[in-house]
Structures are given as C-alpha cells and as structure tokens.
Copies of this chain bind each other. A is one copy, B any other.
Amino acid sequence: MNAHDLIKDVIKEKGTIKTVYWVACGGSVIDLYPAHCLINAESTSIDSEVYTAREFKIMAPRKLGSNSLVITCSHSGGTLENYEAAELARDRGAAVIAMTNNAGSRIDNGEWPCWVYEWGNDVPTAQIPSGMSLSLAAELVNEQDGYEDLDTLMAAIGQIDGIVAAARTKSVADMGDRFAHMCKEHDFLYILGSGPNFSQTYGFAICSLMEMQWQNCCYLHSGEYFHGPFECTEDGVFYFLQMGSGRFRPMDERALDFLKTHTDSLMVLDLLDYGMSDVAESVRDYLDPVVTYAINCELRAERGKLFDHDPDVRRYMGKVEY
C-alpha cells in the first residue's frame, strides 16, 4: 500500500473530505499528531481533529459521516478502543484507514484498508506510522487543495533517515550519560516542547519514561510554561527542553532563556545540533518529531543501563487485568 493510492481511493469513493479524525491511543496517537498539524496548517478545505480512541467512541462527532476520514493506528493490532472507533466510523459512512505492525490482527480484518508496517531502527521513516501519516495528510491536502510542498515533504521524509541514524549516535555521546545520572539524582523531571514536536514531549513522558522506565515526570508545552508552570522552576528541579528547528523554535528559545537562569538542573536537546538545518524550512516542523523520537529512545536506553531497567520490561501492560 501507499499513501497516494489510499487517498485516491478515499476521494474516489467519498468525494470531498471535510474532516479528518486521527484516532488512536498512547504511542500510536503520538505518531499521528504531526500529520494532524499539517492538515490544519496547510489545507484550505479540511479540518483535522485528534482523539484518544475511547473518547471518540463515547462522544462521537455528530457530523461524522460520508465526508469524514478516520485514520487509526494500532501497533499491536489488538487495541479494542481503536477497533471500536474504526467500526463506528465505518457504520456512520466514513472512510477508514488503519495502520498496524501486526498483519492479520483485529484491526487488519479486511473491513477497511489496513497498511501493515515493519518495525525497527532500520525501517525507513516512509514506512513507519510517523512517515506514513505525514504522507497520507500531504497526499490528501494535495489532492483536494493542492499542496505546494508535497515533493519537498516527501524528499524530507526520505532524507530524515540519515539524520536519524547520525542523531542516535551523537545524542548518546552528547547526553546519554548525563541524562541517566540526572534521573538518578532527581525523582522527577519536566519535559518541554512545542508545535508538532510536542507530540514527542508527551511521548518521551508517557511512553519512554513512565511506561518503559517507571520514571515519574511531566510534559509541558514551552509556550504554556509561562502561563503557570514556570512558577515551579528553581534549582534542583530537573528540566529537559526539546528545542525544535522550525517556526515554533521561538517558543522553545524563550523557555531556554528563562530556564538557563532559574534552574541549575537543565538539559537541552536542540534539533539544530542534530542535522535538522539540512531539511527544507517549509516542512522541517513536521519532521522534528521523528528525530526527537529517535533520541528519546536512545536516552531511555542509557537510563535503562544505569538503572538496570530493560525498556522492554513491563509490570502491568499485557501482564495483569485492567
């Protein structure tokens, strides 16, 4: 499958798409968020919404129908909330596209197109949900409104794999040891970011640290930080700032200026230090999260080594009833 043909088929079957709903849970909804941002920023005819899947089912939009496209992703393929949301969307006449790592799973049952992807550090971004979702968004906007940066974006999705590979190595050298030790010295940290990259601020918190390292932390938006949360800032409180390379960067820079002078416990992941300046400015914001995610994975691995806590270990997920 590919984004171009999937979108062509949707338009052929449904005509104009008025609203796209990105509906998933946890790490999967995180991967879809930059594509949601792309549609809202670049489309002249489509609104985009993001839902955690169970909320979508509980209070489904009244306008969900034949001019809607619901895109869902379930890595395991088994997440019931996602399946039920997709079912509801189909019953209401919406187009549905699913993504999963698990061919033949619940979500890949023939009821709607399901794009099966491989997983692992060697799989190109174009073929994992972060890239697939951007391609779907860009193809849809292009098909319906014209998207002048379509080719630029597609080229950048290809280009990002080399940047990611270099960022993995460099980030471990730059930050791995210090991050792990900062986690030893602090019970808790704040992670800050903005724009599409905020998805990986949330992701670093709930997936890499809470889920995979049992590390207490909180995610904050770099802009919202000044509307309340910054009052907590003082020496001894650990902040990890993810600085984007694009249009949202001024928000992160403002946070940096404040943090540098108001806490002695600051770490900064600056995407301009990791090759993002090579990516075309018009699409850079949408790719920042791909690099941030890769670095998040490296840092959690480094923490895991120091704490002797394998990131693949779970105590509850898939192990107990809930």
Query: Which A residues have a C-beta under 8 Å from some C-beta of B?
Result: 18-19, 25-27, 29, 37, 40-47, 49, 52-55, 58-63, 81, 145, 187-188, 194-195, 205-207, 210-212, 214-221, 223-224, 226-234, 237, 247-248, 250-251, 254, 257-258, 262, 285, 314-317, 322
Whether B27 contacts A228 by the Cβ 8 Å rule is yes
Q: How far is the CA of A278 from the CA of B54 in the complex (A)?
A: 26
Pairwise interchain contact A216-B230, C-beta atoms closer than 8 A: no
| Given A41-B62, A211-B231, 20 further pairs, Cβ under 8 A | A19-B47, A25-B223, A25-B227, A26-B227, A26-B228, A27-B227, A40-B61, A43-B61, A47-B47, A47-B49, A55-B223, A58-B251, A188-B216, A210-B228, A210-B229, A214-B232, A214-B234, A226-B322, A230-B317, A257-B322
List of B residues within 8 angstroms of A228 by Cβ: 26-27, 206-207, 210-211, 317
Copies of this protein, total: 2
Contact B230 A322 (CB under 8 A): yes
Q: Assess whether A233 is in contact with B195, with CB atoms less than 8 Å apart.
A: no
Minimum Cβ distance to chain B for residue A99 (Å): 16
CA distance A42 to B218 in the complex (A): 32
Complex Cα spacing A214 to B188, Å: 14
Report the separation of the CA atoms of residues A221 and B262 in the bound assembly, to the nearest whole angstrom: 29
Contacting residues, chain B, for A194 (C-beta < 8 A): 55
Q: A25-B223, A26-B224, A59-B195 are in contact. Are A231 and B41 (CB under 8 A)?
A: no
Q: How far is A315 from B233 in the complex, measured between Cα atoms in Å?
A: 10
Contact among B215, B224, B258 with A232 in the assembled complex (CB-CB below 8 Å): B215
Tell me whether A316 and B187 are in contact (CB under 8 A): no
Chain B residues with CB under 8 Å of A257's CB are 322
CB distance from A307 to the nearest CB of B (A): 14
Once A26-B224, A81-B223 are accepted as A-B contacts, the answer to whether A316 and B55 lie under 8 Å apart by CB is no
In the assembled complex, the Cα of A12 lies from the Cα of B251 at a distance in Å of: 37
Complex: A52 Cα to B251 Cα, angstroms: 11
Q: Find the residue from A42, A211, A224 having the highest chain B CB count within 10 A.
A: A224
Which 8 pairs, one residue from A and one from B, show the smallest C-beta to C-beta distance? A26-B227, A218-B218, A47-B47, A211-B228, A206-B228, A210-B229, A25-B227, A41-B59
